[in-house]
């Protein structure tokens, strides 16, 4: 049996006055990498290693990422003050 994956909790998303924000929207691989702070090649490498958000195959050659998955990934990798990792 492989390791069990922890369920990700809902994420608070920044709001912009006058704009609606759809977390089910799929963004391009370039946009996803920019939001996370990676280069596109790094995002691909991290995905292959199992350390990136799940992706959506839009066509034979196009990859996208749901905004909700990106924000859950970022929330899961956010270090909190006093956490064991933050002290290192």
Is 19 within the bounds of a domain? no
Is 12 within the bounds of a domain? no
Is 20 within the bounds of a domain? no
Please tell me the total count of domains within the chain. Answer: 1
Is 13 within the bounds of a domain? no
| CA 86 to each of CA 41, 52, 77: distance values in angstroms, whole numbers, following the listed order | 27, 20, 11
List strand residue ranges (DSSP E) for 13-86, in order.
26-28, 56-57, 63-66
Give the CATH number of the domain where residue 61 resides. 1.10.10
Is 6 within the bounds of a domain? no
Tokens, residue 55: 């992706």
Whether 75 and 14 have beta carbons less than 8 Å apart is answered as no
User: Domain range for residue 49?
Assistant: 26-79
Residue 9: pLDDT over 90:
no
Confidence (pLDDT) at 23: 80
Percent of the chain with pLDDT over 90: 61
pLDDT band at 42 (very low <50, low <70, confident <90, very high): very high
């Amino acid at each position: 049996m492989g390791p069990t994956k922890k369920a990700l909790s809902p994420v608070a998303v920044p709001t912009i006055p006058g704009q609606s924000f759809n977390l089910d929207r799929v963004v391009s691989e370039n946009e996803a990498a920019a939001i996370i702070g990676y280069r596109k090649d790094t995002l691909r490498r991290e995905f292959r290693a199992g350390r990136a958000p799940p992706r959506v195959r839009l066509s034979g050659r196009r990859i996208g990422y749901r905004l909700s998955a990106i924000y859950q990934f970022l929330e899961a990798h956010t270090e909190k003050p006093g956490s064991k990792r933050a002290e290192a």
